């Protein structure tokens, strides 16, 4: 099982959701691009929050905490799609993107192009906020236009019934649904507890 974790925006819980799935599937982890926070990267968080996880090295490690294309430009680096190669592993693999689907890697390439290049199905992390329905439906539409399989829709946290029903009406029968409860603390104890109780459903 190989899966690309993306989201409807930034700061919606992709890394903690990735940790839960790493724990659940006993998977390796790979963050292709790390922009900023090199003192405590997403790979570091995954290692701290899960058991016996192998984190493959990032293809790009950038100093500036900004979109990858801006961070790369600050270091006179040009991110190229052909530099990304899936790590070799016999285990399942969770790949975590940066921000949402249209986050730029360069002036003319985006995270969605990386998903397409790697030929991976996607898991879309959704969190409730004003505007999340619009962002979710646009993200699903973008994946459909690229013929990228939406393997999982991940509802991270609590949702009003009306919001959840509209979102679930936008996916096909092929997409599986994961509901992750509001997590009190991002640490190994809580990640492990949620992973043990995780259920995957369909429409």
Residue 202 known to be catalytic: no
2 labeled binding residue: no
Is 35 one of the annotated binding-site residues?
yes
Q: Which of 31, 45, 117, 119 is catalytic?
A: 31
CA pair distance 31, 96, nearest whole angstrom: 5
* 58 marked among binding-site residues: no
User: H/E element holding 45?
Assistant: helix 42-49
DSSP-assigned letter for residue 81: G
Is 160 annotated to bind ligand?
Answer: no
Is 201 marked as a binding-site residue? no
Collapsing DSSP to helix, strand or coil, 182 comes out as: coil
- The C-alpha atoms of residue 185 and residue 62 are separated, in whole angstroms, by 27
12 annotated ligand binder: yes
- 14 known ligand binder: yes
Give the number of other CB atoms < 10 A from CB of residue 149. 18
Q: Measure the CA–CA gap between 180 and 129, rounded to whole angstroms.
A: 16
Q: Which residues are annotated as a binding site for ATP?
A: 11-16, 44, 96-99, 181-183
Binding residues: 11-16, 35, 44, 96-99, 181-183
Report the catalytic residues.
31
What residues are designated binding site for substrate?
A: 35
Q: Annotated binding site for Mg(2+), which residues?
A: 15, 44, 96
């Amino acid at each position: 099982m190989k899966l690309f974790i993306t989201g409807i925006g930034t700061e919606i819980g992709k890394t903690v959701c990735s940790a839960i799935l790493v724990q659940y599937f006993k998977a390796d982890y790979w963050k292709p691009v790390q922009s900023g926070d090199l003192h405590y990267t997403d790979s570091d968080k995954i290692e701290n929050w899960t058991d016996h996880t192998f984190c493959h090295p990032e293809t790009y490690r950038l100093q500036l905490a900004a979109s990858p294309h801006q961070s790369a430009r600050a270091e006179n680096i040009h991110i190229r799609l052909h530099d990304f190669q899936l790590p070799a592993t016999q285990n399942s693999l969770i790949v975590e993107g940066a921000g949402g689907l249209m986050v730029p890697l360069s002036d003319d390439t985006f995270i969605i192009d990386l998903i397409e290049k790697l030929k991976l199905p996607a898991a879309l992390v959704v969190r409730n906020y004003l505007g999340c329905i619009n962002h979710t439906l646009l993200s699903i539409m973008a994946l459909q236009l690229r013929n990228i399989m939406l393997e999982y829709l991940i509802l991270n946290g609590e949702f009003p019934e009306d919001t959840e029903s509209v979102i679930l009406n936008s996916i096909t029968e092929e997409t599986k649904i994961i509901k992750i409860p509001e997590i009190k603390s991002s640490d190994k104890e809580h990640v492990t507890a949620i992973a043990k109780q995780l259920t995957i459903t369909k429409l």
